[in-house]
Chain A
């Protein structure tokens, strides 16, 4: 794995971990569980990442003539 890729993956990892940590900390600070809205936001974020990945997969398949 080249260094640029490793850095990209590490930054993505840190960003995900940071968001999760902030969410859990915020919930504990206010003394209530993570809300449905916050979970919806996480689920929506995953939906967006899914769509983006699928678009790239299809674009690359088309480029290869597959």
Chain B
């Protein structure tokens, strides 16, 4: 999935293995992806919109929104790692070697997918940050696009439920 710097995939291009020949991997992959992204999006929504119950004020300034973005990206990776290790642990209990290996590879594919999505978002944030001192309007646009991508992912996830 090569992309130009800072490009953000539309959520519809989100890759899962549900349609691949290894259909047995599909459902678990999509579910894991959904859970990890849901967690990341909760962080994102708390960062962008705030969450008084948890003491997280809504991000308002450019820097605060950037900070919320970096936190979100890190949250995606952390959620992906937790899911990966949990699925790998379950896979190791499978006695049939080929099924066990397929389950392990599925878990790795799922995590790799999330890693790529996080990389995309991170590029958008880095570009927005670099642009800030050069062209604030463009920087603001880039940051808004990144936040919009997060909101689009949220919509995508709701449609999957």
Residues of A participating in the B interface, judged by any CB pair closer than 8 Å: 1-2, 4-5, 8-9, 12-14, 16-21, 23-25, 27-28, 33-34, 38-39, 42-43, 45-46, 49-50, 52-54, 56-57, 60-61, 63-66
- Taken together as a complex, chains A and B put the C-alpha atoms of A15 and B102 apart, in Å, by 33
A17 near B54 (CB under 8 angstroms)? Answer: yes
B107 near A60 (CB under 8 angstroms)? Answer: yes
Contact residues, B93-132 vs A (CB, 8 A) = 100-102, 104-105, 107-108, 111-112, 115, 118-119, 122, 126, 129
At the interface, yes or no: B30 with Cβ under 8 Å from chain A? no
Using A20-B56, A24-B56, A39-B70 as known contacts, say yes or no to A46 and B122 having CB atoms under 8 A apart. yes
**Residues of chain B at interface, number, CB under 8 A:** 52
Listed stretches B4-12, B61-69, B134-142, B152-160; interface member:
B61-69
Chain A interface mostly helix, strand, loop or mixed? helix
A53 near B84 (CB under 8 angstroms)? Answer: yes
B101 near A39 (CB under 8 angstroms)? Answer: no
CB nearest to A35 among chain B residues: B63
